[in-house]
């Protein structure tokens, strides 16, 4: 089954803030799902690359590489900024991090710890913070906190699906 490329995805605005708790639940569960998928994989398979595509360890490391971006965008929305920070679309941090040299347990713990920082911020939001929108720099569309969280959850699933794809 062919998966839509990330940069070809569309993210229409979500009208109902009432589904935010459901999205937060997805975000909380991503580290556990990543741990489950990677638990019994041999080290050589975790580091195997298919041409220029990332290995499983690199995919896992990429998730934690982007946590500061998500947290920064959340803080920008909470503080009423009008435009969200720009992401490095070349993913230079992931390309230079050498995640294959890091033990999987460390990659998983790093992701879990960073994700919990993001989730803890979400858990302490006030209702009035949910209405503010800021422009997403690549999508050129307004994004509220509900939209950001959905975007992050979809990004998580995109990379978890890629790991399953690598595993065959």
Q: Within 13 Å, how many C-alpha atoms sit on residue 78's CB side?
A: 14
Alpha-carbon torsion (50, 110, 11, 92), positive or negative: negative
Q: Is the pLDDT of residue 160 over 90?
A: yes
Q: Could you tell me which CATH class the domain 6-167 is placed in?
A: mainly alpha
Q: What distance in Å separates the CA atoms of residue 151 and residue 138, rounded to the nearest whole number?
A: 13
Which structure tokens are listed for 65? 């590489």
Q: What is the pLDDT of residue 50?
A: 87
Q: Is the pLDDT of residue 168 over 90?
A: no
Residue 133 Cα to chain centre, angstroms: 20
Q: What distance in Å separates the CA atoms of residue 110 and residue 130, rounded to the nearest whole number?
A: 28
Which structure tokens are listed for 143? 């994004």
pLDDT digits (tens, 9 = 90+) for 46-105: 999 988 999 999 999 999 999 999 999 999 999 999 999 999 999 999 999 999 999 999
Contact of 33 with 59, CB cutoff 8 Å: no
Q: What distance in Å separates the CA atoms of residue 4 and residue 50, rounded to the nearest whole number?
A: 19
Longest Cα separation, the chain: 49
pTM of the model: 0.95
Place of tokens 């991090």: 97
Which structure tokens are listed for 52? 């220029």
Q: What distance in Å separates the CA atoms of residue 15 and residue 75, rounded to the nearest whole number?
A: 21
Q: Which of 8, 36, 23 is nearest to 130 (CA)?
A: 23
Residue 165: other Cβ atoms inside 10 A: 13
Report domain extents, the chain: 6-167
The CA radius of gyration of the chain, in Å to the nearest whole number, is 16
Q: What is the pLDDT of residue 3?
A: 85
């Amino acid at each position: 089954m062919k998966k839509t490329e990330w940069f070809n995805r569309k993210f229409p605005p979500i009208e109902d803030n009432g589904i935010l708790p459901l999205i937060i639940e997805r975000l909380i569960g991503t580290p556990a799902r990543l741990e489950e998928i990677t638990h019994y994989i041999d080290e050589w398979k975790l580091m195997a690359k298919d041409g220029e595509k990332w290995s499983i360890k690199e995919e896992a490391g990429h998730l934690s590489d982007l946590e500061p971006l998500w947290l920064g965008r959340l803080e920008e929305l909470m503080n009423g900024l009008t435009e969200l920070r720009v992401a490095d679309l070349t993913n230079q941090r992931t390309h230079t991090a050498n995640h294959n040299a890091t033990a999987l347990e460390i990659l998983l713990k790093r992701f879990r710890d960073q994700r919990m920082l993001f989730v803890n911020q979400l858990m302490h939001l006030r209702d009035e913070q949910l209405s503010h929108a800021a422009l997403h720099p690549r999508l050129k569309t307004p994004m509220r906190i509900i939209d950001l969280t959905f975007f992050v959850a979809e990004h998580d699933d995109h990379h978890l699906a890629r790991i399953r794809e690598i595993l065959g």
